Amino acid sequence: MPRPLVAFLTGAGISTDSGIPDYRGPAGLWTRHPEYEKLVTYSYYMADPAIRQRSWQMRRETLASGPQPNAAHQAIAALAASRAAAVRVITQNIDGLHQAAGLPDRQVLELHGTSRFVVCTSCATREPITDVLGRIDEGLPDPPCVECGGILKTATVMFGEALDPGVLQAAAAVVRGCSVLFAVGTSLQVYPAAGLVPLAVEAGARLVIVNASPTPYDSIASSVVREPIGTALPRLLRELAAA
């Protein structure tokens, strides 16, 4: 008998316990520092070397803080390892913490890319962000591509850039095929990611929302959980595995 497919749509809220602030919450990065949004907006980033330098420093500070997977990331990885269900994660996050918790890359779809790698905007050369931060430490505040001299950026989807259509298509296939979709730590207000939720429900999936604040899709959810994610999600997944 095939294992049920359990899908997760995760947002910034799942990583706050790892020390990574969300963006739009009361203590969110952009709430406290509205100007930071420019650091992840493609047009500003490409036009202004000063913006790029500040953006690299922001990435360096995040990496230096050493964020680690928390109980919620680990609970998802544990469910996958238990083989009680087939697990797929669709994440709006760029931090790589699902993989750090033990999920292989093939089970994680990163809608907004990853900050673990850097890509050249001219020749598409790709390298680990640690290599680029090393060059910054050597005195290059806005390091160029080592292959062509082009402008480098993290391999993330900035404001003003389109999502990878292949990744989005794969995510839609996952939610249409899952038996339950957990929407965790996401406001479900950013599209096209939020549009995956009605696709899942229309295909017959049970929707469980675990988020601190209301979302536009609470009314179609089978269950809405407002408890802290780090305690609520491990409990919910233990119950699911035991069912």
Query: In 3D, which of 18, 20, 60 has the Cα closest to residue 39?
Result: 60
Q: What is the pLDDT of residues 42-57, one digit of tens each?
A: 999 999 999 999 999 9
**Shared-domain flag, residues 137 and 37:** yes
The amino acid that residue 156 corresponds to is: T
Q: What's the DSSP call for residue 133?
A: H
Indicate which CATH number applies to the domain containing 204.
3.40.50.1220
Number of separate domains in the chain = 2
**Shared-domain flag, residues 213 and 139:** no
DSSP string, 4-25: PEEEEEE-GGGGGGGT---SSS
**Shared-domain flag, residues 29 and 54:** yes
As given in the structure block, the two tokens for residue 2 are 């095939």
Please indicate whether residue 112 is annotated as part of the active site. Answer: yes
What is the spatial distance between Cα 32 and Cα 40, in angstroms, rounded to a whole number?
15
Confidence (pTM):
0.91
**Shared-domain flag, residues 86 and 204:** yes
**pLDDT of amino acid 197:** 98
**Shared-domain flag, residues 173 and 231:** yes
Q: What is the pLDDT of residues 144-162, one digit of tens each?
A: 999 999 999 999 999 999 9
Taking CA 61 as the corner, what is the angle to CA 164 and CA 107, rounded to the nearest 5 degrees? 35
**Shared-domain flag, residues 60 and 133:** yes
Indicate which CATH number applies to the domain containing 143.
3.30.1600.10
**Shared-domain flag, residues 170 and 199:** yes
* Confidence bin at 15 (pLDDT 50/70/90): very high
Domain that includes residue 178, residue range = 1-20+69-112+162-243
